[in-house]
């Protein structure tokens, strides 16, 4: 934080951080309240056991 006070980031960098944060929160909200679509979930593969 001291580095940011001495050398504040540019407006573009601040905007980028806020956009990434908003995207993460939106993805969390979709996953939490609407549920994640089953079609987008990876299937677990059962590998045969080797003797």
DSSP string, 1-50: -HHHHHSPPPHHHHHHHHHHHHHHHHHHHIIIII---GGGSPPPP-PPPP
Q: What is the pLDDT of residues 1-51, one digit of tens each?
A: 788 788 888 999 989 999 999 999 998 888 888 877 777 777 776 666 666
User: How far lies 3's CA from each of 7, 12, 20, 33, in Å?
Assistant: 6, 17, 21, 38
């Amino acid at each position: 934080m001291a580095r940011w006070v001495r050398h504040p980031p540019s407006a573009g960098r601040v905007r980028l951080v806020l956009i990434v944060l908003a995207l993460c929160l939106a993805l969390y909200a979709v996953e939490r309240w609407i549920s994640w679509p089953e079609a987008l979930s990876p299937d677990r593969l059962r590998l045969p056991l080797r003797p």
